[in-house]
Amino acid sequence: TPHLRLPANQTGPRCLEVSIPDGLFLGLGLVSVVENVLVVAAIAKNRNLHSPMYYFICCLAVSDLLVSVSNVLETTVMLLLEAGAMATRAAVVQQLDDIIDILICGAMVSSLCFLGAIAVDRYISIFYALRYHSIVTLPRAWWAISAIWVASVLSSTLFIAYYNHTAVLLCLVSFFVAMLVLMAVLYVHMLARACQHARGIARLHKGQRPAHQGFGLKGAATLTTLLGIFFLCWGPFFLHLSLMVLCPQHPTCGCVFKNFKLFLTLIICNSIVDPLICAFRSQELRKTL
């Protein structure tokens, strides 16, 4: 958002700036919108998908949808203003900018929260399988979903209101690191339990050892892909925030600031990949689509 693009004037002569065409940015945003609308529609239509796990996936799709819509909306408004196709007072533009910034920030925070919620849900389903339905009940899921949305709205409002305060930026960066650590610990633990279970089966059926090795490699590849995409898509944005705190005037950091649109593009790419990882792998959801 415009608030986070400051400062970008302190740059050295050898800065590498990756230019993202507006058409590509808008195109990726529209692809993300279509994907996530399909996920929400499929879960809403099929009663077999009305369970806490799919509600978390649906909320993640709504968050990713808001991320894409708000970024596409902001880019469209900026293009219309630059082309002179939309004329309005500066105060109105500023208010519209603040609203879009709150929407973008809130959607990003909620998206990270629901990614963490999905990881926790899957962890409970594996390690507490017999008690899963008594632990993850619909009322508790709704309470968690409501708390995430309320916290996202409040935190995004405070962030946009006090974006130039170091403490606010540090809180956002710490939140990202906490989500990354939480997901890594849970998914690594789940992979370890799955491999241990596969080893037990292999001991009972000695001919199954190659299958066990294949399972371990497949699980490790899936885990690496999941966490790698998460870090690749979100990491640069939060690196940008960290550098705003650590070296806002340094020429080298200024080079990073110039690629802010690239960082937003990576977040939109994450909104495209999330349905492929979390939703479309479900046979029931694919059948509904």
Q: If you search the block for the tokens 């986070």, which residue do you land on?
A: 4
> Residue 252's pLDDT is what?
77
The tens digit of pLDDT for each residue in 236-252 reads 888 888 888 888 787 77
Upper half-sphere CA count for residue 189 (Cβ side, 13 Å): 14
Share of the chain above pLDDT 90, in %: 12
> Residue 147's pLDDT is what?
94
pTM for the model: 0.82
Residue type, 108: M
Q: How many whole angstroms separate alpha carbon 106 and alpha carbon 148?
A: 10
Asked if the peptide bond before residue 248 counts as cis, ω within 30 degrees of 0, the response is: no
Task: Give 215's pLDDT tier (boundaries 50, 70, 90).
Answer: very low
Residue type, 63: S
The H-or-E segment that residue 158 falls in is helix 138-161
Q: Architecture of domain 22-199+218-287 in CATH?
A: Up-down Bundle (1.20)
> Residue 220's pLDDT is what?
53
> Residue 141's pLDDT is what?
93
Averaged over 257-274, what is the pLDDT? 87
Q: State yes or no: pLDDT of 209 exceeds 50.
A: no
Averaged over 140-152, what is the pLDDT? 93
> CA nearest 237: which of 105, 85, 126, 128?
105
| DSSP conformation class of 153 | H
> Which range (62-76, 187-201, 211-225, 269-283) has the least confidence?
211-225
Q: How many whole angstroms separate alpha carbon 44 and alpha carbon 63?
A: 16
Averaged over 6-17, what is the pLDDT? 56
Q: If you search the block for the tokens 């890594």, which residue do you land on?
A: 184
Q: Is residue 173 a contact partner of residue 242, using CB atoms and an 8 Å limit?
A: yes
- Annotated domain spans of the chain: 22-199+218-287
What string of DSSP letters covers 216-284?
A: HHHHHHHHHHHHHHHHHHHHHHHHHHHHHHH-TT-HHHHHHHTTHHHHHHHHHHHHHHHIIIIITT-HH
Specify the 3-state DSSP secondary structure of 87. Answer: coil
Q: Is residue 42 a contact partner of residue 289, using CB atoms and an 8 Å limit?
A: yes
The H-or-E segment that residue 80 falls in is helix 52-83
Per DSSP, helices labelled H in 84-137 are: 90-127, 132-135
